[in-house]
Amino acid sequence: MKKRAETAVPGKTETEETAPEKGILHPEKPLADDERDAGLRPKTLKEFLGQTAMKDNLRVFITAAKERRESLDHLFLIGPPGLGKTTLAQVVARELDVDFKVTSAPALEKPKDLAGILTTVTEKTVFFIDEIHRLKPAIEEMLYIAMEDYELDWIIGQGPSARTIRIPVPPFTLVGATTKAGNVSSPLISRFGITCRFSFYEQQDMEAIIKRSAGILKTAIEGDAASMLAKSSRGTPRVANRLLRRMRDFSQVLRSPSITCAILEEGLKRLEIDTLGLERYDREILRMIIERYRGGPVGAETLAISVGETVDTLEDYYEPYLIQAGLLQRTPRGRMVTDYAYRHLNIPQTAASNENSGFLI
């Protein structure tokens, strides 16, 4: 049976280059270490921890497709960065025992880039497109036909003599991943038969992921320390793996036989990561809302300018976790910090900020 992983186009490069220069916790930015993450990446559904309901359904769809000897229906993966979308796509290919191809929407500049990949897919290949919300309209059009009819519309010639030919493509499974489902057009969404929505991982799943990774890295970590590290990992496996490697460095250099709570406290303090897994930059965003906008509401654009970020980066990478952690709220009037944010940052709530208390949780 064929089982081959290919990077069809160096798609992740553009993301890496355009990603903001931020701390180690921000999972959108692949770091050099992540490249060495291959060994940590789960290979089967069994190894893929957490996201149980989603995984159970997927197992049914995979089994059914295999029994019918058909390609799996197109799969739409939604969720913040670092939660396992790429990993799950690879796992699906492996479980189906088919080829895997990967690219990202920004790397598909011209229809010929997409055609170049689709003309090389084999039967039932899992073709993964990351950041699918960034597809160009002409490419999206081409993809519709490929997804629906397993054909490619190809224009030959120019001007009045131009004509379209249809090239058959073997039945394949498109796996589209996005951090911004709201930016994906409804015609594209409607062509996916299966949707998986990732949520931040539960504490116990994060602990299990950390223990699994520590085992693979041959690093001893005490139970309490794994639990503490899980709390600081933003419910995100990529962050957990990064922090684990840094804590392994601290324990090695501090000559500790294992990662202990004391090592973690020291390591996290040095990296300026707090107990909720916030880095300095996250705290700056919250402080900005409190100090300059009396706790909010403040519009996303104004806030983004104030903190020197793009709205996209703010919305995709910082806000989801701040909201999930109960520190920030999105309201129709803008972003607001919660009571909990004041307490976490140890900032007293003034009369001015209390004006908003009706909205605070």
* Active centre residues (catalytic): 85-86, 130, 179, 238
Q: In angstroms, give the least distance from the CB of 134 to ligand ADP.
A: 14
**Of positions 83, 114, 121, 147, contacts ligand ADP by CB under 6 A:** 83
Indicate the burial class of 9 (C-beta count within 10 angstroms; 0-12, 13-18, 19 or more).
buried
**Shortest CA distance to 277 belongs to which of 309, 311, 322?**
322
Residue type, 232: S
- Contact between 48 and ligand ADP per CB under 6 A: yes
- Total residues at interface with ligand ADP (CB under 6 A): 18
Q: Between residues 41 and 335, which has the closer beta carbon with respect to ligand ADP?
A: 41
Q: In angstroms, give the least distance from the CB of 350 to ligand ADP.
A: 39
Taking CB under 6 A as the criterion, which residues in 206-225 touch ligand ADP? 209
- Contact between 41 and ligand ADP per CB under 6 A: yes
Cα–Cα distance list, 127 to 60, 122, 281 (Å) = 20, 10, 35
Backbone angles phi, psi at 18, to 5 degrees: -90, -10
- Contact between 76 and ligand ADP per CB under 6 A: no
- Contact between 50 and ligand ADP per CB under 6 A: yes
Residue span binding ligand ADP (CB under 6 A) among the ranges 17-25, 33-41, 93-101, 102-110: 33-41
Residue span binding ligand ADP (CB under 6 A) among the ranges 80-88, 111-119, 158-166, 263-271: 80-88
Backbone angles phi, psi at 336, to 5 degrees: -135, 145
Q: How do beta strands 194-197 and 151-156 pair?
A: unpaired
**Shortest CA distance to 133 belongs to which of 60, 81, 88, 69?**
81
Distance CA 304, CA 315 (A): 9
Task: Report the interface residues with ligand ADP, using CB under 6 A.
Answer: 37, 40-42, 48-50, 81-87, 209, 237-238, 241
